[in-house]
């Protein structure tokens, strides 16, 4: 399911890319066929921003925003940590995550990455230390 945040991102991207297409058409004015091609490219780019995270999911090595399991609501971003995916996964699946401090944990994929935000994973288990020999 595509969330409302992703819909707003799609709308903003569509507005920007259509504006750029109209500007390019105004500067080039190569005929109506050129306008149709530019608008098709604009909508194609917008669809990519909407669908690409759904198709790609989370891959091993992706940067993540890790939310503690007891955090809910508007201010949950205050306790968010950074981490990296140790395995690939889809929304609703459990994946292994290594936190910025080297602790390995398991999390539930909550949200895919946006244009400027990392994918979100909610902790579902206790952390444990990894010793590197």
Distance of CA 48 to the CA centre of its chain: 12
Asked if residue 133 is part of any domain, the answer here is no
Residue 68 and residue 118 share a domain: yes
Residues 98, 84 contacting (CB under 8 angstroms): yes
Contacts for 10 with CB less than 8 Å, ≥ 6 apart: 46, 47, 49, 50
Count how many domains the chain has: 2
> Range of 121's domain?
63-128
Q: Is 92 part of any domain? A: yes
Does 48 share its domain with 97? no
- pLDDT by residue (tens digit) across 21-70? 989 888 887 888 888 899 999 988 888 877 777 777 888 988 888 888 76
Residue 30, pLDDT score: 82
Taking the model in full, what pTM does it have?
A: 0.60
Instruction: Quick: pLDDT tens for 54-111.
Output: 777 888 988 888 888 766 666 556 667 888 999 998 888 899 998 888 888 899 888 7
Burial classification of residue 91, based on how many CB atoms lie within 10 Å of its CB (0-12 exposed, 13-18 middle, 19 or more buried): middle
Distance CA 57, CA 17 (A): 24
Q: What is the pLDDT of residue 77?
A: 60
Q: Are 36 and 69 within one domain?
A: no
């Amino acid at each position: 399911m595509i969330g409302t945040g992703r819909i707003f991102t799609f709308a903003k991207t569509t507005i920007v890319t259509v504006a750029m297409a109209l500007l390019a058409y105004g500067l080039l004015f190569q005929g109506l066929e050129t306008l149709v091609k530019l608008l098709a490219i604009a909508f194609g780019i917008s669809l990519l921003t909407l669908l690409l995270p759904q198709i790609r999911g989370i891959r091993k090595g992706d940067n993540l925003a890790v939310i503690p399991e007891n955090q809910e609501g508007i201010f949950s971003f205050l306790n968010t940590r950074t981490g990296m995916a140790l395995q690939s996964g889809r929304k609703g699946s459990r994946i292994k995550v290594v936190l910025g401090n080297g602790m390995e944990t398991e999390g539930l994929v909550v949200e895919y990455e946006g244009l400027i935000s990392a994918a979100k994973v909610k902790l579902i288990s206790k952390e444990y230390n990894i010793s590197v020999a």
